[in-house]
Amino acid sequence: MRKIAILGSTGSIGTQALEVIEKNPDKFEVSVLTAHHNWELLAKQARKFNPNAVVIVNETHREALQEALSDLPVKVFSGGKAMEQIVTMDEIQMVLTALVGFSGLKPTIQAIKAGKHIALANKETLVVAGEIITHLAEEHKVAILPVDSEHSALFQCIKGESQNPIEKIYLTASGGPFRGFSLEQLRNVTPAQALKHPNWEMGAKITIDSASMMNKGLEVIEAKWLFGLKNEQIDVIVHPQSIIHSIVQFEDGSMKAQMGLPDMRLPIQYALAYPKRISNDFPRFNFLQYPNLTFESIDMHVFKNLRLAYEAMEAGGIMPCLLNASNEITNELFRKGQISFTQIADINELVMNKIQNQNTPNLEMLLEADFSARELARNSVNQ
């Protein structure tokens, strides 16, 4: 019985993780659930899974949540500090970090220091602080198990290949709703259009990131740290069918790919149950329904965010942190209709150019960089 804390249980990854856990009550037990503001859904989840404790980050909802769970022996906490502390509970064996954005960094660090294995769905943690996180995980002998479908695919492909050096990896991208668009066409797209992903069901923030290719850019940086790769070993190709989730090429030229229907429950289940594979009733892939699997290149002039991610990775230091922070702001501004789709990348580039890089940053420097980038991004609207 593996006892799990889910950080961000009311989001897309969190709710799907609970589906997996519900179908495997003999293998998993929920110890902790957390949410930012959706206390109603958090209360329903707590009633169903009876965790030891819940945390609502937005403290204004604590009283309502406490009242909703007053007849249960579930402990109720609130605030970001509470979330950082709760992951250190002795009974927890694995922490699924399904938080959105930079908010996942501090609790992940605390969980690693407490010796908890990490099922990582919060790619921004490695984007912002890859060197810090990987060193901590090594020091505390903690496994970081990727939940992103692409990184889970890579992880599965390299199992059993520890003696065989990787020559290159290919992260696949569906191309999103604007595959094949010109820069001129992108200037006029709306948030409603961008939120209609052709293959995946995801939260709003990551769906917009997928449409702008920033999600793939963040995945590039995440892959560097997860698998100890050089920048030039990481490539991205468009694969509209989203059946091949990623590919590893070894130094003899042979390649291994992981395939399957686009269903996030698969990589979630793989991470939660690792190293075992467990049976499920998910739909199965049928080759005859997909007679053609196609691949295309990405125009980084049109989808500039991907180019910016490579540049940030090459620069290192605080640059990936600056890009991520700016993008969290510009993504939100676009969803609110305050900037155009192409301004997401334009403002991200401006932030990267205006703030001086700092090499080998510590956590305090990253927090300062995150704050500065967000302020600059907000103030750059309509400049």
Q: In this predicted structure, what is the pLDDT of residue 164? A: 96
Taking residues 104-130, what's their average pLDDT?
Answer: 95
Taking residues 346-369, what's their average pLDDT?
Answer: 96
pLDDT digits (tens, 9 = 90+) for 312-333: 999 999 999 999 999 999 999 9
70 Cβ contact partners less than 8 Å away, ≥ 6 residues apart = none
Residue 191 has pLDDT above 70, yes or no: yes
The DSSP code for 164 is S
pLDDT digits (tens, 9 = 90+) for 262-316: 999 999 999 999 999 999 999 999 999 999 999 999 999 999 999 999 999 999 9
Taking residues 109-137, what's their average pLDDT?
Answer: 96
The three-state DSSP-derived secondary structure of 84-114 is: HHHCCCCCCCEEEECCCHHHHHHHHHHHHHC
State both tokens at 178: 């604007």
Taking residues 343-359, what's their average pLDDT?
Answer: 97
Mean pLDDT of the chain: 95
Rounded Cα distance, 45 and 9, in Å: 8
Cβ(96)–Cβ(119) under 8 Å? yes
Distance, C-alpha 272 to centroid of its chain: 16
Q: In this predicted structure, what is the pLDDT of residue 200? A: 66
State both tokens at 100: 């959105």
Per-residue confidence band for 198, with pLDDT thresholds at 50, 70 and 90: confident
pLDDT digits (tens, 9 = 90+) for 335-348: 999 999 999 999 99
Q: In this predicted structure, what is the pLDDT of residue 65? A: 97
Query: Which residue pairs from 356-364 have beta carbons closer than 8 angstroms and sit at least 24 positions apart in sequence?
Result: 357/315, 357/316, 357/317, 357/318, 357/319, 358/317, 358/318, 359/316, 359/317, 360/131, 360/317, 361/317, 361/318, 361/321, 362/132, 363/109, 363/129, 363/132
Residue 383 has pLDDT above 70, yes or no: no
Candidates 281, 254, 379; CA nearest to 326 is 379
For 2-146, give the CATH class: alpha beta
State both tokens at 231: 């920048």
Q: Where are the domains of the chain?
A: 2-146, 151-315
